[in-house]
Every structure is written in structure tokens, then in C-alpha cells.
A = this chain, B = another copy of it.
């Protein structure tokens, strides 16, 4: 394979994570080492930055910045949710990108994101090939949702899972202090895949897990859930439920809409945002049990709490970025870096592999139904064996004067 000489560009896309910048640091440090890469750019706000010629020149940054990026949550370059049209329907953006790539002699395109971002990579690559513009396009996986197809797990998941497991344990301890008891609803991210909510199961290892766990992989039955809550509360004077934000009933209706229906039914003011799923379920639980109830949303905290990052996740995310650059330089294009678990030594080893972009794009990986217990009491040992290696080790930004230091 002939050496391809030119500039490289990297962008971050979709929802941020605690470790998305670790992958960026991996791409940048590796790209800056490569002789064939003449310049290294970071796109401001993903593909929008490429379209608008809003780049950062990463060769201006020092090694300390890249080191700090490993522990800085959220997207340091800025992210975007922007879906490219099909080139057949509207090729405006593609033409513009080609123009920009030519202008800056950009020959390496790295994009960090989930399903949609891999779709973006795929479309760009196909267009450039058709236009005869030589370019290597590589995807770097990222999503706390852990729903990317073909990879054992996704960068970002381990840290979010560690935060969720730890916070669930802490809430468990807090919820048990009074002799009166309480019903607590933990609302966890995940519209279609329940990997994040499943992570609450990891709190059971230390005896501090939820009583019930509901993932979007299975239809949610409100009456059945409330009967179980009442039974557990009656027995233990306490009940903790972890629910995915995306749980739906058998008719495909989001449970979170039950609450807004109630609010909207009578008043146009509240709109669809008054009270989330946790508040809605807490209200139902109060009606059913008369108990003190509390709905807790982990909200953005679960995806940005780099102060409680998984060291395993940070290191793997960095490596995913490095491997994307190495592969591209060696001649690979149209692939995403993926993880492969090797347990042959008896303990967890994570290897990387490459997946064809068209295999990955727009396919979601959900939690296997066989890992979800039939009685809604949680996940099986298979899940624990799967997830536990991903939360190992602690990563925290340098703490100065009581709070973290991050790049800006």
C-alpha cells in the first residue's frame, strides 16, 4: 500500500461521555507521531466544523493538554447532532466537504461517535471514493449506551456503568436510614438499549443493589411493577427500582408519557417536560403503597462524571483512538475500531479489531433477553461477568484546590 501523505482531521459527534476526550487524545498523539500526516486538525462541533472550516490546529497543543484530555469529561472540541442527507438526494454538504478537504489537503478523516456517526463516516467515504478523492476514513466508537454492533463493548460505557453502580450503592445506603422506609425510583439513560440501567446490577455485588430492574428490551407492565413494589415494600419496608428512561408498555408507548398525559390532559402549560419518568413512577408508587417515595434521575451526571471514571475505560478509549490512526496510516479505510474480549488466559484482556463501517452503521445492540431475569429482579451472572471487567480501576482528573482540573 502506497503511503498517503496529507492532513488528518478528527471530530466528536453525538452525546458526550466521560472518556470521549481520551479517544481524541489517542487520535491526536498518534497522528502527530506519523510522518505521512502533515497536519492534525480538530473539528469544532463535529462535521459542522468541517463544513464551516472551523478547525483547531492540534499541533499547537502541548502534551500536557492531551494528558489532561484523558480525564476531561464532555467533548472538548464540541459535538454535534447532524445527519447528512443521502448524497443521491442532496449532495450540497458532500461537495462542500470535498472542497474543504482539497483546500487543506485532508486525507485522513477520523470520526468519534455512535451509530449515527458511523453512518456519517460511511456516507462521506463512499462519496469521496466516487469522486476519486483518495482518503482514509476511520470510525472511533463512543457511546455510554453501549449499543454499537459488532464490538464487545463501547468506550464510555465502563465509566458510566461505574458511576451508576457506585451511585446506586450510595443511594441504597441513604434510602435505608429511617425505620419508616421508602420507595426509590432510579431513572437511568437508555432509550432502546438497557446496558446502562443493567449496570445498577453491579451494586448487588456488595449487597447494595436495586430490588427491581426494568430495561427497554422487555415491555413494561405498570400494574405488575406496582404489585411487585408493594409486595417488596411490605416485606422489607424499602424498595429500590432502577428503570431505563426508554421503557415502553406492550403497545410501544413510553411510560414517561403516562405522566405528561396527566399533565397535558387538563392544562396546556406543562407541556411534555413536566416531570420525568422517575417522578411519574414515584407518583404511581405513592398511590399504590402510601410510602414515602423519591424519584432520582442520574441525568447528565451519569455521562460526565469523569471524577469517577473507569481506568480500564479511559485506557481502552485512548487506545481506540490510537488504533484508528495506525490502521489508516497502514492503508485501511471504511472501518471502525472495535473491541474483542479475550478470556483465554482466565482473565479479561481487551484486543482491538476492525469492522466494516457498513456493518456497524445504524444497527443497535441490545441486552440479550436471556440475561434479564424473568421476575424483573435484575440481570443474571452472565451480565455481571460481562460488565465487571469494564469498571475496573479508578480514573480521576488531577484535583487542585478541592476540584478537578480539566482542559477547556
Which residues of chain A have a CB within 8 Å of any CB of chain B?
Answer: 12, 16, 45, 48, 72-75, 78-81, 162, 165-167, 169-171, 173-179, 202-203, 205-208, 259, 262-263, 265-267, 269-271, 273-276, 279-280, 282-283, 286-287, 293-294, 296-297, 299-301, 303-308, 310, 388, 391-394, 396, 399, 401-406, 408
Complex contact A170–B391 (CB within 8 A): no
Q: Give chain B residues whose Cβ lies under 8 Å from the Cβ of A203.
A: 403
Bound complex: CA of A167 vs CA of B406, how far in Å?
13
**In the complex, what distance in Å separates the CA atom of A266 from the CA atom of B262?**
9
Residues of B within 8 A of A162 (CB): 402-403
Bound: A80/B177 CA distance, A = 7
B296:A301 contact, CB within 8 angstroms: yes
Q: How far is the CB of A52 from chain B (nearest CB, A)?
A: 10
6 pairs from A and B in contact (CB 8 Å cutoff):
A162-B402, A174-B304, A175-B300, A206-B403, A265-B266, A273-B286
Task: Return the contact of A279 from the options B175, B276, B282, B401 (Cβ within 8 A).
Answer: B276
Q: A301-B170, A304-B171 are in contact. Are A263 and B271 (CB under 8 A)?
A: no
Is B286 touching A282 in the complex (CB atoms < 8 A)? no
With A391-B403, A394-B399, A402-B392 already in contact, the answer to whether A79 and B45 are too (CB < 8 A) is: no
For the complex formed, measure the closest distance between the CB of A174 and the CB atoms of chain B, giving whole angstroms: 4
Which secondary structure characterizes the binding site on chain A?
mixed
Q: A269 contacts B274, CB within 8 Å?
A: no
Output the nearest chain B residue to A175 by Cβ-Cβ distance.
B300
Distance in angstroms from A15 CB to nearest chain B CB is 8
Cβ-defined contact, A179 with B45, below 8 A = yes
Q: Is the CB of B79 within 8 A of A178?
A: yes
8 Å CB contact of A275 from B174, B274, B306, B408: B274
Residues in B with CB closer than 8 Å to A78 are 176-179
- A73 is contacted by which of B75, B173, B310 (Cβ under 8 Å)? B173
Bound together, the chains give a CA A391 to CA B399 distance in angstroms of: 11
Closest chain B CB from A221 CB (angstroms): 19
Q: How far is the CA of A73 from the CA of B73 in the complex (A)?
A: 25
Q: Is the CB of B80 within 8 A of A402?
A: no
A170 partner, pick from B45, B74, B177, B297, beta carbons under 8 A = B74
